[in-house]
Amino acid sequence: MIEVLYFAWVRERIGLPRETVDTNAATVADLVIELKAREDRYAAAFTDLSALRVAVDQKLADFDAPLAGAREIAFFPPMTGG
């Protein structure tokens, strides 16, 4: 069980800010494949991975980062702070 968070337009496309996901995915990329298979709104959100950023346990990570031991995965567009 892993907490999955969505921010900005990723949140808007998927339609919720967070959910608990039951997964055995080995990497972030594997988790994305599982999510895309669920419904069109997920497929729409994850169409272009180059437009997305990911954090594993609140640290920026790559899509090939392993999920073993991770509790919280977040997907979001490139950040626009400041």
Partner 1 sequence: MQVRVQAAPFDFGAEAGAFAQGHTTAGAIVTFCGVVRDDGPAGLERMEIEHYPGMTERALEQIATQAMDRFALDDCLILHRHGPMRPGETIMMVATAARHRAAAFAAAEFLMDYLKSRAPFWKKEIARDGASWVAAKDQDEAALARWTGED
**Chain residues that interact with partner 1, rule: CB under 8 A:** 5, 7-9, 11, 55, 58-60, 74, 76-82
We find the least distance from the C-beta atom of residue 37 to partner 1, in angstroms, to be: 26
Cα–Cα distance, 35 to 41 (Å, whole number): 10
User: Which residue lies nearer to partner 1 by CB, 38 or 59?
Assistant: 59
What pairing do the DSSP bridges indicate for beta strands 72-76 and 53-56?
antiparallel
User: Which residue lies nearer to partner 1 by CB, 8 or 26?
Assistant: 8
User: Which residue lies nearer to partner 1 by CB, 24 or 48?
Assistant: 48
Strand ranges, E, within 1-82: 2-6, 18-21, 53-56, 59-61, 72-76
